[in-house]
Amino acid sequence: MKKEKNIALEFDEFSKNYTSDMIGCVPHYTKLVSSFTEYLPENFNPKSILELGCGNGNITAQLISHFPNATFTLVDASAEMLELCRKQFKDHHVVFSNSYFQDFPFKEETYDLIVAGFSLHHLTNKEKQTVFKQINSALKEGGIFSYSDLMISKTNPDHPKLLKQWGDFVNAHFPDGEKWAWVMEHYAAYDKPADYTLQLEWLKKAGFSSIHLPFQKGFWVYLQAEK
């Protein structure tokens, strides 16, 4: 668990400039965030929402603006991130869990909507498959799982090209090169992205009946899976 604890501490530090860093380090970040409400079915009105890896609350804020009466459960390994959310959403129905996804107690048929933005890439392929099954079980019938992330494995033949394009993007925002160096250090130590084609198969095996990719730019993907 030492590496996992280091992830929590790293995101405690990252919380200080989270939004500006994400916009400058993640291509299509604002679109991938807005997708969490933009592509939901028109009459979909979730009452219970679980967010896996809430960060500083950017996706939560997007969802709360559309579903202000819903009850939210926010999960994050970083205590600092959760504290930011606690202050920001103090007037809403929010439950907080300072936990790793692997340790979170998923309750069967509890949530109408489960979301994960830029967080599941920290899991191994085996852990992703397990969590997908837990997410499916925790959703009510007709519930939706929404998920944004970089979805390409490090062994994919297109990975070197992706790194070049990604580096150019980050260095355009942070020309001194230090931010890209930090991104690559973090990426090498903690990130375990998987090809979206593999993840689609895992979601089907987990029991999801309908899976869509409403937004995709290269390997930056937003997907929705319905139970």
Overall fold of domain 2-153+192-226: Rossmann fold (3.40.50)
pLDDT of residue 35: 97
Among 77-86, 127-136, 212-221, the least confident range: 77-86
Q: Is the pLDDT of residue 62 over 80?
A: yes
Using pLDDT thresholds of 50, 70 and 90, give the confidence band for residue 6.
low
Q: How far apart are CA 74 and CA 220, in angstroms?
A: 23
pLDDT of residue 207: 97
pLDDT of residue 9: 47
Q: Is the pLDDT of residue 67 over 80?
A: yes
Q: What percent of the chain has pLDDT over 90?
A: 84
Tens of pLDDT, residue by residue over 180-201, are 999 999 999 999 999 999 999 9
- Measured CA to CA in angstroms, residue 27 lies from 89, 104, 112 at distances of 27, 29, 29
Tens of pLDDT, residue by residue over 112-124, are 999 999 999 999 9
Q: What percent of the chain has pLDDT over 70?
A: 93
State the CB neighbour count (10 A cutoff) for residue 1.
Answer: 8
- Measured CA to CA in angstroms, residue 206 lies from 82, 139, 186, 203, 226 at distances of 29, 12, 29, 5, 11
Which of 68, 2, 22 has the alpha carbon at shortest distance from 173?
Answer: 22
- Give residue 111's region: left, alpha or beta (phi > 0; psi -120 to 50): beta
> Residue 108: CB partners within 8 Å, gap ≥ 6?
137, 138
Using pLDDT thresholds of 50, 70 and 90, give the confidence band for residue 11.
very low
Which of 160, 150, 130 has the alpha carbon at shortest distance from 190?
Answer: 150
Using pLDDT thresholds of 50, 70 and 90, give the confidence band for residue 5.
very low
Give pTM, 2 decimals: 0.92
Who wins on pLDDT, 48 or 18? 48
Q: Is the pLDDT of residue 1 over 50?
A: no
pLDDT of residue 51: 97
4-26 average pLDDT score: 65
Please give the mean pLDDT across all residues of the chain.
Answer: 92
